[in-house]
Amino acid sequence: MSHSMPPLVRPALVFFIALSVLTGVLYPLAVTGLGQALFPDQANGSLLLREGRPVGSRLIGQSFSDPAHFWGRPSATGPMAYNASASSGSNQGPLNPALAEAVKARITALREADPDQKAAVPVDLVTASASGLDPHISPAAAAYQLPRVARARHLDPARLQALIEQHTERPLLSVLGEARVNVLTLNLALDALH
């Protein structure tokens, strides 16, 4: 009776170690190196800087509640809003009473922030995205908030509308996706006006 390895164990072990090195070390190093060389901004989180310091990522929403800023989509992440390590939706369907109550409370908050605004509230201002991290709102959601922000900042609404237009991202090739406004970049541009 021999105590040596069965004939298939050694090649299997060598193959396992080779694939582990290839997929666990070499491939990640290659992808990271290519990402840093070809797409450094995206590979490092698409960070936005103000005075050399990061203020956020253009890929992750942030919570704004000041009437002088545009507000983004609600976040469904926990334990805090826009928690990138807990990206998820609320999993509440349209018939869920908890979702209906949350939407009602958000509409009330928007109406209280701007009692003169009588237009219908855009849906993206009262419902979270699937990830709970969406940094964008629709141009309609930005237009809905325009009067409140213009009053709070004592700005001409036409000037503010032009700023919204400058920060509206159009669909790729004019057909893929929808027009959208990145709330963080818009608010940073708004803060730079003063």
pLDDT in tens, 77-115: 877 888 878 777 777 788 888 888 989 999 999 999 999
- Confirm whether 82 is domain-assigned: yes
Q: Which two tokens stand for residue 55?
A: 């203020």
Report residue 134's pLDDT band, with 50, 70 and 90 as the boundaries.
confident
- Confirm whether 43 is domain-assigned: no
Indicate whether 191 pLDDT > 70: yes
Indicate whether 2 pLDDT > 70: no
The dihedral through the CA atoms of 13, 16, 20, 22 has a sign that is: positive
187 Cβ contact partners less than 8 Å away, ≥ 6 residues apart: 64, 69, 70
Report residue 194's pLDDT band, with 50, 70 and 90 as the boundaries.
low
- Confirm whether 41 is domain-assigned: no
Report residue 3's pLDDT band, with 50, 70 and 90 as the boundaries.
low
pLDDT at 119: 94
- Confirm whether 21 is domain-assigned: no
- Confirm whether 32 is domain-assigned: no
- Confirm whether 77 is domain-assigned: yes
Mean pLDDT of the residues in the chain: 89
Mean pLDDT of all residues in 177-191: 93
In angstroms, rounded to a whole number, what is the distance separating the alpha carbons of residues 101 and 120? 18
- Confirm whether 101 is domain-assigned: yes
In angstroms, rounded to a whole number, what is the distance separating the alpha carbons of residues 152 and 55? 22
In angstroms, rounded to a whole number, what is the distance separating the alpha carbons of residues 35 and 56? 20
CB 168 within 8 A of CB 182: no
Give 50's strand partners.
Answer: 53
Range of the domain at 176: 59-192
- Confirm whether 40 is domain-assigned: no
Q: How many domains does the chain have?
A: 1
